[in-house]
Amino acid sequence: MSNAFFQIPEIKNEPVLSYAPGSPEKAAVKKAIAGLKKKQIDIPMVIGGKRVRTKKKVKIRPPHELSHELGTFSKGDKSHVEAAVKAALKAKPEWEAMSWEDRASIFLKAADLLSGPFRARMNAATMLCQSKNIFQAEIDSVAEYCDFLRFNAKFAEEIYAQQPPVNPKAIWNRLEYRALEGFVFAISPFNFTSIAGNLSCAPALMGNTCVWKPAESQIYSAIVIMDLLEAAGLPPGVINLIYVDGPVAGNYIFNHKDFAGLHFTGSTGVFQNLWGTIGKNISNYRSYPRIVGETGGKDFVIAHKSADAKEVATALVRGAFEYQGQKCSAASRAYIPKSLWKKVQKYMLDDLKTIKMGSPEDFTNFVNAVIDERSFDKITNYIHQAKEDPKADIIAGGNSDKSEGYFIEPTIIVAKDPKYRTMCEEIFGPVLTVHVYPDAKFEKTLELVDETSPYALTGAVFAKERTAVNIATEKLKNAAGNYYINDKPTGAVVGQQPFGGARGSGTNDKAGSVLNLYRWVSPRTIKENFNPPTDYRYPFLGEE
């Protein structure tokens, strides 16, 4: 146990570089993309610090350029899950015995490497792998990941400093923030490189060792995370990266007595299924596993008649269509008062006419491809249904093409029925559904916003009138874990807006905050008595 104190200086958010024409950062990332595209890499799993390859190779292609092969990854099986768990358990005693300052210094160094020599490579890999334009790659894989690494070190320091009162004369009380007993299983989604990194780094910072299973469509940038962490000095076995099908990993891990925690980000259905499995196996575990999950969203924007139409339109265009709407926080349903709609619609349609779609390698493209064929088919299915449904009008976009890459135009559906399917279900693509409501029914519409979907991740209200803001804030109290006033519902920044939702959107343990880190420790209270009693009798036993 080490509670010695070396204070981490004040942490600042990593600056987001501009990548303007002629900038050195733009030249560096262009060079990194060209370098990556020139060679085909064979990506190994990383188990106990060893690079593990198998004969089963899966091809990796950029979602926006299916004719190009970036390389392959080695698919693992049950034996790799077993090996990863073994390696995590083997590395655990030494890792948790290390002082927290030493652990933190590894992650702080990783942030500095990412901000410097790894920056261009991490951006390039994320752009090619997940089809992000440079701005989306930079705010995610560099800025947010640096912020997770640095702010979490500071939050860890805050946790370790929390100690019960001391009576130095007689009693010394201490809290020892032990790691969980066993290993943590981190399962990450495709859409944020930073989340993929944080899901194992956050528990690891607190002394845990992890098995990490990324989404297959993120493996090309996942290996850069492992290279970065190794370069920063992460010991072998602390984080073990495996590429296996979810159920293959789950069947072994959720039956293992040392399974101590799940750190998950992904869809609601998968998380509920995993929770059910853990519940069924509960008597097999050494401890009650910590279950932390950030899941789906159906994020709203509601405008009041006093709102500024241009501000609403800009928030919707950015909030709904940046990264092709593949953010858990993306605006996907909007409620606009009749008196404002004509203007909001015009501004949005004007904007959409100027938006270019294509490869992220062309920096003038705002919209790129969706992640894979499954997503493409799912999203376009919603659009085709809306085309045929008299209850829905498509007023922008609606076209798609998967011949060269998985491209779907930013699409706006207007739904007369506020419970129309695309107002309720998570689509996870560039599709925004708008419901136009009578100006006088603002409060009724707020109730509708609250009831319409099972999720409660992000949401925004736009209004100039303060009373309208206040009514919305109160009525929508449980409708969003991240709630915005006159701002788009995406783009939460670590250290500023801790992120997470409740209801069907997750356990709301707020990634990138001290709340999340508390889930990865199991405190032991230690009371030391400097003057132990030598007589069992209390004074009240005395005779009058």
- Residues near ligand NAD (CB under 6 A) are 187-192, 195, 213-215, 246-247, 249-250, 265-267, 270, 273-274, 294-297, 328, 426, 428, 457, 499, 505-506
In a 13 Å sphere around the CA of 429, the CA atoms on its Cβ side amount to 31
Of 295 and 306, the one with the shorter C-beta distance to ligand NAD is 295
The minimum distance between CB 151 and ligand NAD, in angstroms, equals: 16
CB distance 396 to 348 below 8 Å: yes
Of 198 and 522, the one with the shorter C-beta distance to ligand NAD is 198
The minimum distance between CB 217 and ligand NAD, in angstroms, equals: 7
Q: Tell which residue, 160, 278, 263, 296, has the closest CA to residue 516.
A: 263
The minimum distance between CB 510 and ligand NAD, in angstroms, equals: 10
Q: Tell which residue, 83, 467, 517, has the closest CA to residue 292.
A: 517
Just list the catalytic residues: 294, 328
DSSP of 162-230, one letter per residue? -----BTTTEEEEEEEEEPSSEEEEE--SS-HHHHHHHHHHHHHTT--EEEE--GGGHHHHHHHHHHHH
C-alpha to C-alpha distance for 338 and 160, rounded to whole angstroms: 54
CB distance 148 to 512 below 8 Å: yes
Of 273 and 314, the one with the shorter C-beta distance to ligand NAD is 273
Of 267 and 385, the one with the shorter C-beta distance to ligand NAD is 267
Q: Tell which residue, 396, 375, 386, 387, has the closest CA to residue 321.
A: 396
Of 243 and 335, the one with the shorter C-beta distance to ligand NAD is 243
Axis-axis angle for helices 193-205, 100-115 (nearest 10): 160
C-alpha to C-alpha distance for 181 and 286, rounded to whole angstroms: 8
The minimum distance between CB 473 and ligand NAD, in angstroms, equals: 21
Q: Tell which residue, 234, 277, 252, has the closest CA to residue 46.
A: 234
Q: Which amino acid is present at 262? A: L
The minimum distance between CB 249 and ligand NAD, in angstroms, equals: 6
